Amino acid sequence: MNFERLQAFIASSPMLWLALAGLTIAIIVTEVMRLFRGYKSLAPAQLTQLINREDALVVDLSPAADFEKGHIAGSRNIVASQFAADHKAVAAAKAKPVVLVCRNGQASATAAAKLKKAGFEQVYWLDGGVAAWQQADLPLVKGR
């Protein structure tokens, strides 16, 4: 595509051009914000490495009944509505990697922002939650 064709496109389709420019700016802003938010998403394989290499604390924010049906081995259950940075299960882990997990990844991302704001140094969340863990054919533990 040359410059003349681009100018012709802009002149003949100003609404499409504005939509394209707006979407491009929105994507760039979102990605820049993600770089500076202070906590990171993890894929299931990255989580297993973090658990094995750095003894990460894994906190599952699922309801107790869902936690008992299946959770990542070694994870601790704190119901999302009761989660706080000063909760006894996480308060002592400010310098340790803390990974937040929920069923689909939404509640854990919100909780990760709370931990980072409270001064935790290494905060992560499992992108896609337990569903992504299962999709990666990784095992879940049943019961408490």
Question: Which amino acids are annotated catalytic?
Answer: 102
77: nearest Cα among 96, 64, 93, 90: 64
* Residue recorded with tokens 């569903």: 131
Q: How far apart are CA 79 and CA 13, in angstroms?
A: 51
Q: How far apart are CA 133 and CA 11, in angstroms?
A: 48
Report residue 51 as tokens: 């658990």
Helices (H), ranges, the chain? 3-12, 14-36, 44-54, 64-69, 106-117, 129-135
Q: How far apart are CA 141 and CA 35, in angstroms?
A: 33
